[in-house]
Structure 1
Amino acid sequence: MELEQRHKLAVDPEYIHQQELSAEFFFLFIIGIQILIYVLYKKYPERFKEVTFVLLWLYPLVLLHRDQHPVTLGFIAVWILWSLRTGFLMHLALAKPLAPTTPELVYGWFLKTHSICYYSAGATVYIFFLVPGLGILMLFFALYFGVLGRDCAEICATRISNTIGYTKYETAPENICALCNIELRQTLELMLGETTEDEQPNVIQLQCKHEFHEKCIRGWTIVGKKDICPFCFEKVDMRILIPDSPWNSKRLSLLWVKLLGLIRFLLVWNPLVTYSAMILLKLFHFAPLRDQSGKPVF
């Protein structure tokens, strides 16, 4: 009986017309909602970023509500552990006064997150051919934590820069990293012979001749979305000065950035746009969209 009912609906001209009309208005609603989102983004960019950031961070709870599959539970477990560590570091970055070791801890954590996600995404190319399901899962993990980590790093980098104040020196401080206010080289211990050059922290000199700890400047540029010197604000090509960074491969890095930007929209706004369009269909009393089995898709 159910198959006969589906067959009757499939050949019913009125039913086909209703489905076509609903589909047309569904896409019109989607276009209209996307235009509205774009207008809001242009008018309230900072608020838009804040809302997107919060929704992105809470996205795993939506997955948990829809599905309690073991893979979903595993993703939630990783998300909880990562959120606890990241939340603690963000608390340190937002605290006043700022602890001297906080910048290095913050930049180091987000740099590790970025590197793990970047190389994990690259590994999925090989794993996909062996275990397709695992490859797709790894890619999702890498994209999600990659974009969330960059957003968190940008917030921390901006707050740390405002707290330390990079323009408080009339001239560049000697032997001081302007990102963490810690000595670049432990000169006293080195003079006394208590440390060796190998034990000194790595130092990077930018094209503007300002020097920073390698971990600090890499965290500032790679995961903090900053392409300027934090002291003089001169634009610098970090891919040339930090050859062992993930940005060394230009094409892959640019593709990675685009993927991170795309995943933000797909995870946050695309579902909201789709569900909003479905709700509008119901409000305007259009026939519900149905799949091939005849069941409503919403």
Structure 2
Amino acid sequence: LLDPHHPHPWQHSAQLHHGHPMPHQPAPFAAVLTFYAVLVTMVMAQTGLFWWKKNHKRSYELVTLFGLWVFPAITCVVLKFWRFLLVWIVFTGITGHLLSLCLAKPMDRTTPRKVYTWFLLLYKVSVGIGSTGYFLLLAFYFLEIFGLHHLVHDVISKVITPTAAVLWIWYGLYFGILGRDCAEVCADQMSKRIGTGRRLAVSVNNCGICGQELRDFTHLGEQAGATEGYEKTVQLACKHLFHSGCIRGWTIVGKKDSC
């Protein structure tokens, strides 16, 4: 196959490089220098982020919230993950509308209840979906360990797969974290409106957060049967009165633990 009078191309290439050095290989010093350059850059970036968060916490939180909110959607458009994008659009529409209500001047008295109802529902749904996906993933793992996955594979694979379980965890974590951060922004805006636009209601007739009339007066000694069907009233040590749903949303969803 090889003609001695016509050398093979690789032989010709070897003849051309005969007596010449091979292509230059990276020196160990350059590799070490690159490693330390990357390491120093990472440390400086982390230090800068820590300084930013410590000295300008509000801008840091808003910028990270914007990135968490927008960049996954852009990625899904590029990768054509339309299902996630549809859920993201619904979440963005509802949350954006509620945020606009929080920024309104004057703020409507029903806004706090709407905001906390939505974010509390989102919190419960996110926890439920994430927990379900987590336990399903554990179930697949243990079935694989004990060699029982073949017994239920035909049944389970028609309903749920490990990939779907991971997606459930992702949906729960993403919208849970994003909803928590958005709820905090809404709560801050509402606290500004409540604190500067009007004082907390101190009468026995109005909720200190939403300002709507209280109809449960069991804390004043009224019989429980007379207020049946109305939302329970909660009175704090500061003597302010609240609807049970309003004060729970204020403390749980809005992460506000002060009056």
User: What TM-score results when the alignment is normalised by the length of structure 2?
Assistant: 0.70
SS at match of 2:87: helix
Aligned-residue offset at 1:108: 0.5
- Kindly indicate whether the alpha-carbon contact (under 8 Å) linking 2:126 and 2:173 is maintained by their aligned counterparts in 1: yes
**1:34 counterpart (46, 56, 73):** 46
Distance 1:197 1:19, change over 3 A: farther
- Amino acid of the residue matched to residue 74 of structure 2? V
Question: Paired residue for 1:176?
Answer: 206
- Kindly indicate whether the alpha-carbon contact (under 8 Å) linking 1:110 and 1:223 is maintained by their aligned counterparts in 2: yes
Q: How does 1:83-232 map to 2 (within 5 A)?
A: 83-128=92-137, 129-130=139-140, 131-165=161-195, 168=199, 172-185=202-215, 197-206=227-236, 208=238, 210-228=240-258, 230=259
Aligned-residue offset at 1:112: 0.6
Residues 146-197 of structure 1, C-alpha deviation per residue, up to 9 Å, x if partnerless?
111111111211222221238836x83213111100112178xxxxxxx974
Aligned-residue offset at 1:204: 3.2
- Kindly indicate whether the alpha-carbon contact (under 8 Å) linking 1:127 and 1:134 is maintained by their aligned counterparts in 2: no
What is the rounded CA distance, in whole Å, between the counterparts of 1:40 and 1:179 in structure 2?
A: 33
Aligned-residue offset at 1:26: 2.3
Distance 1:14 1:21, change over 3 A: farther
- Amino acid of the residue matched to residue 72 of structure 2? P
Distance 1:172 1:35, change over 3 A: same
SS at match of 1:178: coil
- Kindly indicate whether the alpha-carbon contact (under 8 Å) linking 1:161 and 1:179 is maintained by their aligned counterparts in 2: no
* CA RMSD between the two structures: 2.7
Give structure 1 stretches of 5+ with no counterpart.
1-11, 188-194, 231-298
What is the rounded CA distance, in whole Å, between the counterparts of 1:13 and 1:133 in structure 2?
A: 46
- Kindly indicate whether the alpha-carbon contact (under 8 Å) linking 1:53 and 1:151 is maintained by their aligned counterparts in 2: yes
What is the rounded CA distance, in whole Å, between the counterparts of 1:63 and 1:157 in structure 2?
A: 29
Question: Paired residue for 1:61?
Answer: 73
Give structure 2 stretches of 5+ with no counterpart.
1-22, 141-160, 218-224
What is the rounded CA distance, in whole Å, between the counterparts of 1:30 and 1:168 in structure 2?
A: 47
What is the number of residues matched between the two proteins?
Answer: 207
What is the rounded CA distance, in whole Å, between the counterparts of 2:59 and 2:75 in structure 1?
A: 25
What is the rounded CA distance, in whole Å, between the counterparts of 1:121 and 1:13 in structure 2?
A: 53
Larger radius of gyration: 2
- Amino acid of the residue matched to residue 243 of structure 2? H
Runs of 4+ off more than 6 Å: none
User: What TM-score results when the alignment is normalised by the length of structure 1?
Assistant: 0.62
Distance 1:204 1:16, change over 3 A: farther
Aligned-residue sequence identity (percent) comes to 34
Distance 1:102 1:21, change over 3 A: same
**2:62 counterpart (27, 50, 59):** 50
